[in-house]
Chain A
C-alpha cells in the first residue's frame, strides 16, 4: 500500500467518523435547538468504552497502562458498547441543561461539563490512564489474521456500513412528524409545550440518539487510530463539528454532510499541505511559530463560522420543508 493509498484510507475513515458525529450534533443543535457544546464528550465516551472493552485486563497487557475494566471483547461488542456509552453520556449532558435554561446558558453549562470531564479523566490516572491516554494493540482486532492492506479497506467498508445505518436512523428522527415536532421545540419551546409536547422527554430522547451517533464515531475512530487520550477530545473539537453544522446548513442532513466534508477534510486536512509551501515555511521561521499552518486551520474555521452567521446563517444548503400545495383547490 502506497503512502497515498494509505492516506486515502485515513481520509475516508476520518470522513465517516466525522459524518456520524456531525449528524449527531445536527440532530441535537440544528434540529432540536440544544446547543450542546459538550458534544465531544459523547465521542470520547464511545472511544474509551471501546478501548476498555477490547483490551484485556491491565495486568495481562503488561501493566504499562492503567484503566478500569479490560474485558477482551470482540470488535462488534466493543463497538456496541461504545454506542451505548455515547448515548448514556449524551443523556447525562442533556440533564445538566434541561430545566428552563435559556439556550445560551445551556450551551455554557454543557461546555463546562466538557471541561470537567476532561479534567477528571486527566487527573484520575487509574481511571483511564490520565493524560498519557490508552493504546490498543493490535488495531483492527477482528481482522488481525489478515493482510494489513486488506484489513484497512475492509475497515473503510465497516465505517461506511455504520454510516449508512447511522444515516437511516438519523433520518427517522429528522423527517416525518417527529422531525417536525423537534423543530417546533427548537423554534419555540413554550409554544410547543402549549400544544402538549413534553420538551424534557423529547430533548432527552434526542440526546440519547445524538449521543449514540457520537459514541459510534468515537469507537470507530479509536479502533482505527489505536489510541485515545484527553488531547484527542479537547472542547475545541466540538467547535469544528459546530462549524460543519453551521456552514453546511443547520437542520439539513445533506447540508451538514457537505459541511463536514468541507471542514473536516478540505480545510483541516488541507492545511497540513501548507507545510510544503516554501513561503509559509519562511514566515513560520521568521515568526518562530512552527505550528502556524496547523493553527491556520482553526483560524479559517473561526472566520468561516462568523462569516456564515453574518451573511448566510442558513448555510450552504438551507433547511427545506415539505410542500403540501398552497394553491386553493
Chain B
C-alpha cells in the first residue's frame, strides 16, 4: 500500500485528445482523503473526459494517475474498481433486465457466488453472504426512499430513479474513492438534499469523492476544494467562495 498520509488521488499532467482536439490538456490536481473535491467548468471544458480517463474508461495520451501514491495510469476500469475507485456515468447506466435491488446486489465486491468454488459448492457456500447483502441493499433502498421499488425492473424506473440506483450501486461496491458524474441531475430537490447529507456523512467515514456537478450551490456546500476547468486546462483551484470572486473564473464560467 502507498502512504496513507498523502492525497488519495493525484493527477499529474493528464492529457487526452480526440483527433486534433485536446479535450484534456495537461491537468494536475489532487483529491485529499476523506474530502469531496469538485470539478466544475463550462460545457465542453473536459470534465467528463478527465473523469473517464481517471476511471480507466479511456486510455490517457499522457500524464499519470496515482491512487494512494501508486501509479494506476491506464489500468482498466474493473481493476481500478477492485482497488476501490468506483464511478458513475454522466448518462445513468443501469442493468435494465435486473430489478432495482439486484442492481445493488450485483455491485458487492468479493461475492462467493461468483467464484469457482461458489459455482461448484452452490447456495450452501454463498447463501449466508447473500442474505447479508440483501439486508444491506434494503437499508440503502430505504435511505434513498426507493424501498417500494426493490423488485421493479430497473428499465422501468424514471431518469432520476435510475441515477439514484447508480449512486446506490456505486456505494454497494464499497469504494474508497467515488468518481461521480452529475449525481444530482434529475433528482427531486428533497432527494438531492438527502444525498448531499449522505455524501458528507460518508466522507466522515473516510470516503473520498471527485464530483463533477453543475449546481454551484451544491458544490459550495459539499466541496472543500474545487478545480475549475476550461478548454481542457485547469483554470483555478480553491474554495468555491473565493473562486466566485476571481475574474478569470467568472469570464470562463458565467457564475450565477
A interface residues with partner B (beta carbon < 8 Å):
172-173, 176-178, 180-181, 183-184, 186-188, 190-199, 251, 319, 321-328
Contacts and interface: CB of A to CB of B under 8 A. Distances in A.
A58 B90 CA distance: 63
B142 to A, nearest CB: 7
A188 B111 contact: no
Contacts of A324: 99, 101, 134, 138, 150-151
Interface stretch (B3-11, B116-124, B188-196): B116-124
A116 to B, nearest CB: 30
Given A193-B81, A326-B150, A180 B119 contact: no
Contacts of B166: 191
A327 B86 contact: no
21 contacts: A176-B118, A176-B123, A176-B130, A177-B106, A177-B126, A177-B130, A184-B98, A186-B97, A187-B95, A187-B96, A188-B94, A191-B93, A191-B94, A194-B170, A196-B78, A196-B82, A197-B78, A199-B78, A321-B153, A324-B101, A324-B138
B170 A319 contact: no
Contact of A321 (B57, B99, B111, B118): B99
**Cβ-closest 10 pairs across A and B:** A177-B113, A196-B81, A191-B93, A187-B95, A326-B150, A195-B107, A193-B77, A326-B151, A184-B95, A193-B78
B68 to A, nearest CB: 17
Contacts of B96: 187-188
Contacts of B88: 194
A324 B96 CA distance: 17
Contact of A184 (B81, B106, B112, B130): B106
B150 A198 contact: no
Contacts of A326: 147-152
A190 B148 contact: no
Contacts of B76: 193
Contacts of B147: 326-328
B95 A183 contact: yes
Contacts of B55: 194
Contacts of B169: 195
A223 to B, nearest CB: 28
Contacts of B153: 321
A194 B97 contact: no
B94 A325 contact: no
Contact of B148 (A180, A323, A327): A327
A98 B87 CA distance: 23
B105 interface: yes
Nearest to A196: B81
Contacts of A322: 99, 102
Contacts of B57: 190, 194
Given A195-B173, A326-B148, A251 B78 contact: no
A95 B93 CA distance: 26
Interface string B132-144: 0010001000100
B129 to A, nearest CB: 9
B114 A188 contact: no
A169 to B, nearest CB: 9
Contacts of A183: 95, 97-98
Contacts of A172: 119-120, 122
B51 to A, nearest CB: 11
A202 to B, nearest CB: 9
A175 B81 CA distance: 24
A188 to B, nearest CB: 5
A190 B57 CA distance: 8
Nearest to A329: B147
A182 to B, nearest CB: 10
B89 interface: yes
Contact of B98 (A195, A196, A321): A321
B89 A194 contact: yes
A195 B138 contact: no
Contacts of A197: 78
